[in-house]
Amino acid sequence: MKQPTVKDSTGISFTALYTGAVWHRYGLSDDILATDQGRWLYHLMTPFEAASKAIVGGNIRTFLLQRHLIIDHLIEQAIERGVTQVLEIACGMSPRGLRLRQQHPQIHMAEADLPDMASRKAARLMISGHLGPNHQVMPIDILAEDGDRSLETVIDRTFDNREPVIVITEGLTSYFSLETMTVFWQRLASKLSERPGAVYLAESYFMPKQALLSGTLKSLGGLLGSVTRSDVSFHFQNDTQAHDHMVQCGFPSVTVHNPRDFYGTLPIPESRRDPMIRIIESRS
């Protein structure tokens, strides 16, 4: 049997801690998930975030809040349709599991990440008394083709029926090449096809058309890739590319959401230009 490919999670954990600090700063998270490293990174990044917002019309925090709140909105819609099982892959210090369990006690919430981050998250939730049969944290490796940490095993072992499930990968896909993510999406589409009504939610960043801005972002992406030891990528250039690719991966119904469509409806920050981020909603 081929052994799972386990990556060192410390690199991507660096960005997960910063993201967790943003959630906490904006009142979306619980104190139990706040980390000293995250607070330090938040203060370190503040001057860069302010400069980016002034020059580009948006910054990392803008995109993080846009994607997080829109994904939450789409999860609520799926729960209203009767879906009661949720799997958040690359959960990091996301507060989503806590919020969903508080708002919807009937759901089965599973959070998953690479082993190091999963252990950190589980320890914090265990201390606070939040873990139990309907709220779990477990290791996963999206590159593993089989074994206990593979996508298929985690879903089958955690959700022991054929009922639909909501799968979320927030802040994950951009750390892998399109080739790598395509294999993952094909496997996920195949697994979710066994559960009619299942929903997959993820974000995608588009490379802007302005040459100067796109060049700067490519350089920053290379730097981030070095820090996180990953292959930071911009997978698509527009909505049509994103839609068509996900359909080709095996999802029969795909909607690409632009944050602009939620201005005035959801409490999300607005970008001065067309947002660089999209939320992709794929259904089985």
Q: How far apart are CA 129 and CA 27, in angstroms?
A: 21
Looking at residue 216, its pLDDT comes to 43
The pTM assigned to this predicted structure is: 0.84
Q: Confidence band (pLDDT; 50, 70, 90) for 3?
A: very low
Q: Of 65, 72, 63, which is closest to residue 273 (Cα–Cα)? A: 63
Amino acid sitting at position 133: P
Q: Confidence band (pLDDT; 50, 70, 90) for 231?
A: low
Q: How far apart are CA 263 and CA 123, in angstroms?
A: 37
What value does the mean pLDDT take over residues 82-89?
97
SS3 percent helix, strand, coil of the chain, rounded to 5, is: 50, 15, 35
Q: Confidence band (pLDDT; 50, 70, 90) for 39?
A: low
Q: How far apart are CA 133 and CA 115, in angstroms?
A: 20
Give the pLDDT confidence of 175-225 residue by residue, as tens digits: 899 999 999 999 999 999 999 999 999 999 886 554 444 444 444 444 444
Q: Confidence band (pLDDT; 50, 70, 90) for 26?
A: confident
Q: Confidence band (pLDDT; 50, 70, 90) for 81?
A: very high
What value does the mean pLDDT take over residues 63-86?
96
DSSP H helical ranges for the chain: 10-25, 36-56, 60-80, 96-103, 115-127, 151-158, 178-192, 211-228, 239-248
Q: How far apart are CA 229 and CA 224, in angstroms?
A: 8
Measured from the Cβ of residue 212, the count of other Cβ atoms closer than 10 Å reads 8
Percent of the chain with pLDDT over 70: 77
Largest interatomic CA distance in the chain: 53
Average pLDDT, the chain: 83
- The answer to whether the beta carbons of residues 41 and 19 sit under 8 Å apart is no
What value does the mean pLDDT take over residues 8-18?
55
CB-count burial class (<10 Å; 0-12, 13-18, 19+) for 16: buried
Q: ∠ CA 79-80-83 to the nearest 5 degrees?
A: 35
| CATH number, domain 10-283, options 3.40.30.160, 3.40.50.150, 3.20.20.450, 3.30.70.2740 | 3.40.50.150
- The answer to whether the beta carbons of residues 30 and 98 sit under 8 Å apart is yes
